[in-house]
Amino acid sequence: MAGYIPMQQTNPPLESSRSTTEPRLVRFFLIAIVIVFLSLFLVLPLIAIFVKAFDKGIDVYFASIRHPDALAAIKLTLIVALIIVPLNAIFGIAAAWLVSKFDFKGKNILITIIDLPFAVSPVIAGLVFVLLFGTHGFLGPWLFEHDIKIIFAVPGIVLATLFVTLPFVARELIPLMQAQGSAEEEASFTLGANGWKTFLFVTLPKIKWGLLYGVILCNARSIGEFGAVSVVSGHIRGLTNTMPLHIEILYNEYQFSAAFAVASLMSILAIVTLVVKNFIEWKTKTNK
């Protein structure tokens, strides 16, 4: 669910004119291909998850979800998301503000750096943090001396997730704020408003839907992130397992029904996210 990476907000599709419409047969084939693909690779697996989850009956399903390790994993996942999303929103707004309202050298380099987590494999991202904060890492001895645990602990998971989700909000807001320009902000200043009030009353209302969209995607990714978190987590049950890690462990232990029960929970989260996302897209379109 979280592998979806929007580089830019999609524009409403242009209405196709008659001259550009494909012949019927071609259109039919294209539709058929898309439907086959979607059912084979999206709908079917989704159904399979739920079928498998309820394989051993509803009691096993709820027991797997209510298992202390599962509950701990759910709690940790939500805590991480709760920390990540506000941090990302703040960073995203700050970065978009910087890029869209100021001119400075190295602006393009900054934008590229913001995109870096999209280009780097999450596993490598995780390894970077191990290299930095692990026992044999760069800052390891110092952290050990001061009794601070980052790797194989919650801070490591938060850091790794933060790295992976960094571009979401910023990437959403930069094109939006660049397109909007700063004329309204300037008008606000001439009317005697200070920077904070200008942000609150002028900028924020203009970007709120874009911001929410970025937040939703960031949230989805932070809940679903596996690779980076897997490297830094240490897989300590009840302590450093997030939902995806917990599912993997259950699966490796052949507890398929339990694994799919938790997976179904994540799928529901994903579907809710999609619905909210579509609502926001619809809302931004009608707002224009």
In the complex, least distance from residue 89 CB atom to another protein, rounded to whole angstroms: 19
Q: Does 69 bind another protein (CB under 8 A)?
A: no
What is residue 2's DSSP assignment?
-
Q: Does 256 bind another protein (CB under 8 A)?
A: no
In the complex, least distance from residue 188 CB atom to another protein, rounded to whole angstroms: 7
Q: Does 205 bind another protein (CB under 8 A)?
A: yes
User: With contact defined as beta carbons under 8 Å apart, do 267 and 54 qualify?
Assistant: no
Ranges assigned E (strand) in 49-117: none
* Beta carbon nearer to another protein, 252 or 287: 287
Q: Which of 189, 199, 251, 256 binds another protein (CB under 8 A)?
A: 189
Query: How far, in Å, CA of 255 to CA of 269, rounded?
Result: 22
CB count in 10 Å sphere of residue 181: 11
Q: Does 12 bind another protein (CB under 8 A)?
A: no
Q: Does 187 bind another protein (CB under 8 A)?
A: yes
User: With contact defined as beta carbons under 8 Å apart, do 36 and 149 qualify?
Assistant: no
* Beta carbon nearer to another protein, 38 or 200: 200
Q: Does 191 bind another protein (CB under 8 A)?
A: yes
Q: Does 199 bind another protein (CB under 8 A)?
A: no
Q: Does 107 bind another protein (CB under 8 A)?
A: no
Q: Which residue has the tokens 């209302």?
A: 205
CA atoms within 13 A on the CB side of 35: 6
Q: Which of 138, 201, 279, 282 binds another protein (CB under 8 A)?
A: 201
Query: How far, in Å, CA of 161 to CA of 222, rounded?
Result: 6
Alpha carbon distances (Å) from 268 to 24, 69, 119: 37, 20, 28
In the complex, least distance from residue 231 CB atom to another protein, rounded to whole angstroms: 44
Helix (H, G, I), strand (E, B) or coil at 257: helix
Cα 166 off chain centre by: 9
* Beta carbon nearer to another protein, 16 or 108: 108
Q: Does 194 bind another protein (CB under 8 A)?
A: yes
Helix (H, G, I), strand (E, B) or coil at 150: coil
What is residue 139's DSSP assignment?
S
Q: Which of 206, 234, 235, 251 binds another protein (CB under 8 A)?
A: 206
Q: Which span (149-157, 183-191, 221-229, 266-274) binds another protein, by CB under 8 A?
A: 183-191
Query: How far, in Å, CA of 76 to CA of 63, rounded?
Result: 19
Q: Does 184 bind another protein (CB under 8 A)?
A: yes
How big is the site for another protein, counted in residues (CB under 8 A)? 16
Token pair belonging to 182: 């700063």
In the complex, least distance from residue 113 CB atom to another protein, rounded to whole angstroms: 25
* Beta carbon nearer to another protein, 139 or 187: 187
Query: How far, in Å, CA of 223 to CA of 219, rounded?
Result: 6
Which residues bind to another protein, rule: CB under 8 A?
183-184, 186-194, 197, 201-202, 205-206
